[in-house]
């Protein structure tokens, strides 16, 4: 398995990403968010368009996803750099929201919260796979089309 394939597998297996953005005043901001993975390592999440991290998306974004670890040898993660935007396509939005609801068991009681949220997609252009089981500080860089 290549490092890029291992990174994609890790993204598919986890549930929470850390989204990093920057405010209009230049202040860094990060937020943990539930996500689902799509093709090309695209990541989708729901959030309020008024949140600090959503407002900062226009200035760029990066994402980190990692598996829980209690030993340094078990640290595995993916760092991604790219752009994020609100999903506009009706078909894409419907398909992703259905997958999102199923993955996180969001029943009808979440409909009002979902209605107030916006669906976002992160489209990576560059990534880094980290895997300490291959040696302390092991990392492999890759680009995405």
- Do 49 and 118 meet the contact criterion of CB atoms below 8 Å apart? yes
- pTM score of the predicted model: 0.92
- Do 123 and 84 meet the contact criterion of CB atoms below 8 Å apart? yes
Average pLDDT over residues 10-33: 92
CB neighbours of residue 46 within 10 Å: 22
Alpha carbon distance 134, 33 (integer Å): 28
pLDDT in tens, 23-35: 888 889 899 999 9
Alpha carbon distance 10, 51 (integer Å): 27
CATH number at residue 47: 2.30.110.10
Whether the per-residue pLDDT at 104 is higher than 90: the answer is no
pLDDT in tens, 43-76: 999 999 988 888 889 888 999 999 999 999 999 9
The domain of 14 spans: 3-143
Domain count across the chain:
1
Instruction: Give the pLDDT score at 106.
Output: 80
Alpha carbon distance 48, 134 (integer Å): 39
Distance of CA 57 to the CA centre of its chain: 13
């Amino acid at each position: 398995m290549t490092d890029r394939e291992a990174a994609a597998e890790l993204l598919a297996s986890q549930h929470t990403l850390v989204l990093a953005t920057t405010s209009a005043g230049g202040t860094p901001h990060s937020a943990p968010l539930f996500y689902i993975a799509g093709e090309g390592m695209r990541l989708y999440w729901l959030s309020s368009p008024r949140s600090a991290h959503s407002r900062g998306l226009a200035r760029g974004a990066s994402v980190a996803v990692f598996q829980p670890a209690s030993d340094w040898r078990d640290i595995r993660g993916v760092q991604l750099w790219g752009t994020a935007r609100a999903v506009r396509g009706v078909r894409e939005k419907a398909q992703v929201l259905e997958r999102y609801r199923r993955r996180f068991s969001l029943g009808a009681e979440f409909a009002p919260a979902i209605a107030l949220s916006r669906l976002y997609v992160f489209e990576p252009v560059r990534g880094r796979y980290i895997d300490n089981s291959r040696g302390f500080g092991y990392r492999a860089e890759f680009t995405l089309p």
